Amino acid sequence: MAKISSPTETERCIESLTAVFQKHAGRDGNNSKLSKAKFLILMNTELGAFTKNQKDPGVLDRLMKKLDLDSDGQLDFQEFLNLIGSLAIACHDSFIKSTSPQK
């Protein structure tokens, strides 16, 4: 039997991101997709640091359209992961920029 040890921070984060999607997707009984309404709630409650700096109310509408690759009006888990990936890339780029020597 495999030894069970505490999950690492990275493992915990993977589980946590999965759980956030499931929590919000499950609000209406369809736990495999996020409708637009559920996407807006998720953005405002879980990613408030991103949404509250947006002055333009159309930003979330356009973001939803961009993420919804198969245009079914909902986000599946892979489409949600693309959102998380984009935010992580923005976070990473800002770190790289801040640590690069100034020319």
Q: Which residues bind its own copies (CB under 8 A)?
A: 2-3, 5, 7-18, 20-22, 31-32, 45-50, 52-53, 77-78, 81, 84-85, 87-89, 91-92, 95-96, 99
Q: Name the helix (H) or strand (E) containing 82.
A: helix 77-99
Based on CB atoms, which residue is closest to its own copies, 20 or 35?
20
Q: How far is the CB of 44 from its own copies (least distance, A)?
A: 10
Q: How far apart (Å, rounded) are the C-alpha atoms in residues 67 and 8? A: 29
| Residue 88, phi then psi, degrees to nearest 5 | -65, -40
Bridge partners (DSSP) of residue 71 are none
Q: How far is the CB of 31 from its own copies (least distance, A)?
A: 7
59-67 and 36-46 are packed helices; what angle lies between their axes, rounded to 10 degrees?
Answer: 120
Q: How far is the CB of 55 from its own copies (least distance, A)?
A: 11
